[in-house]
Structures are given as C-alpha cells and as structure tokens.
C-alpha cells in the first residue's frame, strides 16, 4: 500500500512573531520544526507500512529551507520526500494551500502509484484552523476521517478501513472505503526513533523538488497570496480574566446542592447546557 503524509514546517511557537502591518506570521529568523501533530500522522503511516508493506511518501509545501523538515521525516523511515516549492505559493491561506497540495498528490499518484491513504495531523500550531486535511479530501473527492485516535482493522483486498474517532460524546468506530484521508489526533502514538541506516540515507537522499509547473498546477491565480481570500483583520493576545477560579467544597454536599451552587456562580450555564442538549 502507498501512504502520503502531508507535513508542514512551522515556526517554533515559543519564538513566534506577528507582522505589525500584515498581521501574518513572521518566519524570518525564527527556528522551525515539523508541526508536532504531523508526527502522529507520520507514525501511523509507518506502522501500517510495517504491517502491510508498501511505501510512505512525505509531502510538504514551503520555501527551499523546508527540505530540512523533509530530511528529518526521512530519518524516521519514510521512503521518499517531495518538496513543493515556488514563489507562486508564497502567502497561501488554507484554500490556496489545499489547491496546491491536492495537485501535487495527483502528480505523486502518477509518478509513484496512487495513494491508498493520505495522512495529515489534525491541525498546525501556527494556523490552528484544521482546514487543510478536509480541504485536500474535498478537492480530491476522497472520504475523510478526522480526529482519528486509532486505526483498527485494515483489509486491503476489500479496500476497507476501520478507525476510532474521538468525538464530544465519546468514541465513534467508523468504517470507510479506500482511498481515504485521515487526520490524526495528538498522543495517539509515539514517533519512533529512526534507525542509523535511515539517518544516513536521509542525509544523502535526493529530495524531489517540484515547482508549480512541475506539479501540474493549471491555474496560478489559485495559488499563493493571489488565490487566498482570507483577510486577517487583527491579531491579539486574549486579555487575562479578572475573575479567578473558585474552589467549591464537594465532600459534604449532596449532588443537587453542589449543582445548584455551580449554577448560582454561573448564571448562564444552565441555559447553555439545556440548549446544547436540545441540539443532540
């Protein structure tokens, strides 16, 4: 089987800065890492390859420096890495990003075999939108499973997969047909330590680099800043709450009295809970 894992090189969130005019993230001079959520997606793909065979292709879109993150991914055992890099991709929002990545995934399918599963992390730590995975699935016409905590049964002959999806009401067990797209939750696995052989291979590996033309992008106007309708009006840090948390002694109180005390401190909570219950 063939898995494609979409990763992103992101600024270290501890040292992030925002441009005062454009309200976009300033990436120059800020150390970069692989988006932590994407590592759970990578490990899930590697585990399936270990069990069923096949290949894992890593894909990212970014500047030439994103090659460092791809080599890091190769040290964990991925088979190949593709860097989608072109000045036309600069300033892309999630809409433009999914257009470029979906185009590149089609090209990967032509060059290396159609992927059975496309993996992404649930979101990135720089944008936090959780839109790219579902956006790719929509553009490619794929079934999608989001917020997946565990991949269960996989039947390559029947082309079906079973997964556990974490939801507000508990855990959903879902079954889907292949090919599909999966976004992985955090803390669902632990990324392996790469073998020395993989580290040596990653250091001398040829990273496949595609421009917009190489990837088969047909409409440049849908890429980068020109293809990004998102406008960031303002970026700000939330103000600290003046009200501090209160300690409610529950050991000696009956449940009804405790609930009444909570509702008294939070006047709108009871109505909010009732409205939520009507929605289910």
Task: Spell out where the chain has E strands.
Answer: 2-6, 9-11, 17-18, 25-26, 32-34, 55-61, 80-84, 117-121, 143-155, 160-167, 170-177, 180-184, 208-210
Burial of 51 (0-12, 13-18, 19+ CB in 10 A): exposed
Q: For position 248, what pLDDT does the model report?
A: 67
pTM over 0.85: no
Burial of 78 (0-12, 13-18, 19+ CB in 10 A): buried
**pLDDT, tens digit (0-9, with 9 covering 90-100), for 102-132:** 999 999 999 999 999 999 999 998 888 999 9
Copy the structure tokens of residue 244: 């501090």
Share of the chain above pLDDT 70, in %: 91
2-227 belongs to which CATH class? Answer: alpha beta
The whole-angstrom separation of Cα 75 and Cα 40 is: 15
- Mean pLDDT value of segment 236-254: 71
Average pLDDT for the chain: 89
Q: For position 271, what pLDDT does the model report?
A: 83
The whole-angstrom separation of Cα 179 and Cα 157 is: 12
pLDDT(280) > 60: no
pLDDT(4) > 90: yes
pLDDT(187) > 60: yes
Phi first, then psi, for residue 209 (nearest 5°) are -115, 120
* DSSP secondary structure letter of residue 221: G
Q: For position 111, what pLDDT does the model report?
A: 95
- Mean pLDDT value of segment 249-272: 77
Q: For position 128, what pLDDT does the model report?
A: 85
Q: For position 168, what pLDDT does the model report?
A: 80
pLDDT(149) > 70: yes
- Give me the residue spans of the domains in the chain: 2-227
The rounded radius of gyration (Å) of the Cα atoms in the chain is 22
Q: Which has more confidence, 264 or 95?
A: 95
- Residue bearing tokens 């898995």: 3
The whole-angstrom separation of Cα 34 and Cα 78 is: 14
From first CA to last CA, the distance across the chain in angstroms is 38
Kindly give, in sequence order, each residue whose CB lies less than 8 Å from that of residue 217, ignoring residues fewer than 6 positions away. Answer: 88, 99, 100, 103, 223
């Amino acid at each position: 089987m063939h898995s494609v894992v979409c990763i992103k090189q992101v600024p270290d969130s501890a040292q992030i800065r925002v441009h005062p005019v454009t309200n976009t993230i300033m990436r120059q001079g800020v150390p970069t890492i692989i988006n932590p959520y994407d590592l759970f997606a990578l490990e899930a793909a590697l585990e399936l390859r270990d069990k069923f065979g096949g290949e894992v292709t890593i894909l990212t879109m970014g500047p030439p420096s994103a090659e460092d993150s791809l080599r890091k991914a190769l040290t964990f055992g991925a088979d190949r890495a593709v860097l989608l890099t072109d000045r036309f991709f600069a300033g892309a929002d999630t809409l433009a990003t999914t257009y470029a990545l979906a185009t590149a995934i089609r090209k990967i399918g032509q060059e290396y075999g159609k992927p059975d599963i496309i993996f992404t992390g649930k979101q990135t730590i720089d944008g936090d939108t959780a839109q790219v995975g579902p956006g790719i699935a929509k553009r490619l016409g794929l079934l999608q499973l989001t917020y997946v905590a565990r991949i269960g049964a996989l039947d390559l002959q029947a082309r079906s997969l079973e997964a556990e999806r974490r939801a507000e009401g508990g855990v959903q067990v879902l079954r889907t047909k292949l090919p599909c797209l999966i976004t992985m939750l955090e803390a669902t696995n632990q990324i392996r330590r790469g073998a020395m052989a993989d580290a040596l291979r990653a250091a001398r590996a040829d990273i496949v680099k595609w421009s917009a033309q190489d990837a088969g992008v047909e409409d440049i106007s849908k890429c980068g800043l020109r293809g990004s309708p998102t406008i960031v009006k303002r970026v700000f840090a939330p103000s600290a709450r003046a009200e501090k948390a209160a300690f409610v002694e529950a050991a000696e109180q009956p449940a009804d009295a405790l609930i009444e005390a909570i509702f008294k401190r939070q006047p709108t909570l009871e109505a909010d809970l009732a409205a939520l219950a009507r929605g289910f």
